């Protein structure tokens, strides 16, 4: 999909412990992102959710 994300703790280890998760994924947007890039990210996110909920 051409989308880059970051995974890990994101300087939020207390939150991860509270939520009982080992890590999380983060995508960041900024003013220079285009609508096409945002749409592409949303489609990639939908595909990812579909993949991980299919089994």
Q: Could you tell me what percent of the chain has a pLDDT over 90?
A: 75
User: Residue 13 sits in which domain range?
Assistant: 6-52
DSSP class of residue 24 equals: E
Rounded to two decimals, what is the model's pTM?
0.69
Q: Report the number of distinct structural domains present in the chain.
A: 1
Rounded Cα–Cα distance for residues 49 and 26 (Å):
14
Would you say residue 4 has pLDDT above 90?
no
Q: From CA 42, how far away is CA 1, in angstroms rounded?
A: 10
Residue 1, domain member (yes or no): no
Task: Report the distance separating Cα 13 and Cα 7, nearest Å.
Answer: 13
* Nearest to 40, CA basis, from 27, 50, 26, 23: 27
- Active site (catalytic) residues: 11
- Whether residue 34 is contained in a domain is answered as yes
Average pLDDT over residues 12-38: 93
Alpha carbon distance 40, 42 (integer Å):
5
């Amino acid at each position: 999909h051409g989308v880059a994300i970051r995974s890990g703790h994101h300087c939020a280890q207390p939150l991860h412990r509270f939520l009982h998760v080992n890590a999380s994924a983060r995508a960041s947007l900024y003013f220079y992102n285009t609508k096409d890039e945002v749409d592409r990210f949303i489609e990639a996110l939908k595909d990812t959710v579909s993949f991980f909920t299919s089994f």
